Copies of this chain bind each other. A is one copy, B any other.
Amino acid sequence: METSIYEQYQGNKRFVSVDCVIFGYEDEQLKLLLFQRAIEPSKGEWSLLGGWVNANETSEDAARRVLNKLTGLEDVYLEQVHTFSNPNRDPGGSVITVEYYALINIDEKANNLIKDYGARWFTIDALPPLIFDHDVLVAKALEKLRLRSSYEIIGRKLLPEKFTITCLRNLYNQIFQRQFDPGNFRKKILSLKILEKLDEKDMSESRKGAYLFKFKPKKQTEFIDPIVKRSLS
């Protein structure tokens, strides 16, 4: 099947892996799921969820496969972040890795499976030291998550089905590590008309209670003006 010109390069074939930066949202905190590495080198240290890409699958297939094995979740939201190919990044061999971030709703049965693998959720401002270049991967994923969040109201996959505007705002506060103005945030979000107001209220946060919303079915009007302007200025 492979032609001769390809054969000459057999010696240059590389290991290909995926690494997943798994974001979750729990207790009003943006969290990240980390694992204690099961194999040498650096066995036992904290790392992102990784896995090999088999010869007959795409890197995204591989990411879904490892995510599913560890959490049981299907249909996880995945976005490719970047590919790292420094031959020395992994002391175990010349591994090229394709990075993804995943957004998952922590309030799912997933947590049981996660425990079996010695995984733990960490808040993003208190991460332990990570193996290899995984701190760089985390930074890159967060950057990409911020970029996406500024063009699209993410939350569909991180929040429970019903949520308050305050809850969504808090998620954005976490992602951007700043405090959005409650009134202005509400006005902006509602002006996008991507949420549907329900008759139910959440009474846990105030006397008055806050109406619950849910996302309208994903379709048109998904992308918007940047939520956060002035990228750097």
Contacts and interface: CB of A to CB of B under 8 A. Distances in A.
A165 to B, nearest CB: 21
A16 B12 contact: yes
A92 B59 contact: no
- Interface majority SS on A: helix, strand, loop or mixed? loop
Number of copies of this chain in the oligomer?
2
B233 A14 contact: no
How many chain A residues sit at the interface, stated as a range, is: 35 or more
Nearest to A61: B85
A54 B12 CA distance: 5
Contact of A13 (B3, B15, B232): B15
Interface of A: 1-3, 5-6, 9, 11-16, 39-41, 52-60, 80, 82-83, 85-87, 92-96, 98, 151, 221-226, 229-233
